[in-house]
Chains A and B, each alone.
Chain A
């Protein structure tokens, strides 16, 4: 009959309307900011630098690999020097421009020293677009306990790996050996 498809469609809508009062599945709104969705562990937003005990002993040795591999080139690193001009294994300037960063996570993947990880913070609204979104070293430092809190499994794996490296006696900051060219 001609009109039946239309009536069946209306019944589906009616079913959704009535069930929206009874089941949570048919009323999928989350009333943000009073309710929030549970955070996923691997969610990656912007990066942060990690320190072990005090903010002074950050793990970053300013090797510049993340700045080179970053696809949109949003990381700026300047190596620190001591009084005589000899370079130290520490960054003096470590800027990430959050208006450029595209949250790809490549900096976390390529860091050989487990010094930079992706954070979960997303409520980072600012009133300006330029200097306010350029995060400096002090803004980016977060403790290892914070890392273990937001990403427990990854933190456990990293801790185990670092302990293994130290136990083996190898220098904890040696870079990975060079890659042989792929065979065809």
Chain B
């Protein structure tokens, strides 16, 4: 899409070229946008990424299958559990491993808690980009801390959990895990209500976010966008409902759809998704059975990773990560190290239409549009 710079017959005008970033308080990491401005209107926008490239895919070829599990934590460093989940799913597909019931329930609980963690952070930081001086961020973090404390009690670390293994999870949950999850489920709707009162009906927020950064439905599908961004543009596509992976069939939850595809829709769809996640958590916590948390083959695989050799072949495992479709493509040649390992990162693919969404809007809008795409540079650059 091209945006025509208005030529003036008498004045000799020039477009102003500004580089937003890489050091910028609001680009969510080291990300750069070369923006051409006509006054305050954006005429062209070219994103520049790669400042955080850490060679993840090549490193995995030198390590055992389990050895890259801690590195997947650091891809999307806010939601480490779902990254682990996607990788474990891909390798289990490749090696044909079964996962016991209790492990499935624990996995679903961790994945939905991670979804809450991620969306809470995103909503807080979107409002920070708008200029609300950190108040929504701190309210969001107050709630998020409780979930992170839970992760620390179970997995040993707040953010780099390294909790999932092929065939189950690393270790069973602690005794007070389920009561604490129940407490979180009780508190969260009240927190969401307070948050919405603070900001969803705020006229300034609505004026800034509505009709800004519109993503039409066809463009979203053509560009390969996934996750809440796609759903906010009106496409009812949720991988949990489409692929029926893990045990998500047993939980009745709804998928919220937006109408206009602007920033406000993306924000609100995420808030509605959080409410649906709470429903899934309620049911999972009620129904979780006793039993082993890792299959026997998986246990031996975890105890001696250098002997874990999946058969030759390839597999693509994908999940509905909080940011979109996170997929891992793994190719095995029968040895203890992957032959090829590729990550389909949602933030990277969602960034490809940043320019189309930003043309014709102001600089201030570009920042919130970027915030609403929800990128994490660890994923974009791998």
The answer on direct contact between A and B (beta carbons under 8 Å) is yes
Please list the residues of chain A having a beta carbon within 8 angstroms of any beta carbon in chain B.
2-6, 8-9, 11-13, 16, 28, 40-44, 65, 68-69, 71, 102-106, 109-110, 112, 118, 176, 178-179, 181-184
Are A13 and B70 in contact, with the CB atoms below 8 A? Answer: no
User: Which positions 275-306 of chain B face chain A at CB distance < 8 Å?
Assistant: 297, 300-306
Chain A residue nearest to B153 (CB atoms) is A40
The answer to whether the Cβ of B328 comes within 8 Å of any Cβ in the partner chain is no
CA–CA, A104 to B73, complex, Å?
A: 10
Q: Could you say which residues of chain B place their CB within 8 Å of the CB of A41?
A: 153, 174
Tell yes or no: B64 within 8 A of A by CB.
yes
Stretch at the interface among B200-208, B227-235, B318-326: B200-208
Q: Is there a chain A Cβ closer than 8 Å to B160's Cβ?
A: yes
Cβ of B162 and Cβ of A6 under 8 Å apart?
no
- Known pairs A43-B156, A118-B156 / 11 extra A-B pairs, C-beta < 8 Å: A6-B203, A8-B201, A9-B202, A12-B197, A16-B139, A42-B152, A42-B171, A42-B174, A106-B305, A112-B303, A184-B95
Tell me the count of chain B residues lying within 8 A, CB to CB, of chain A. 49
- A161 → chain B closest CB, angstroms: 13
B304 and A71 contacting across the interface, CB-CB below 8 Å: no
Distance between A145 CB and nearest chain B CB, rounded to angstroms: 22
**Which of B64, B69, B198 is close to A12, meaning CB atoms less than 8 Å apart?**
B198
CA A2 – CA B202 in complex, angstroms? 10
Contact A42 B199 (CB under 8 A): no
Q: Which chain A residue lies CB-closest to B60?
A: A71
Give the Cβ gap from A180 to chain B, nearest Cβ, in Å: 8
Report Cα–Cα, A41/B69, bound state, in Å: 22
Decide if A182 touches B202 in the complex (CB within 8 Å): no
Q: Return the contact of A104 from the options B70, B135, B308 (Cβ within 8 A).
A: B70
Contact B303 A109 (CB under 8 A): yes
- Chain B, 158-215, CB within 8 A of any chain A CB: 160, 162, 170-171, 174, 194, 197-199, 201-204, 206
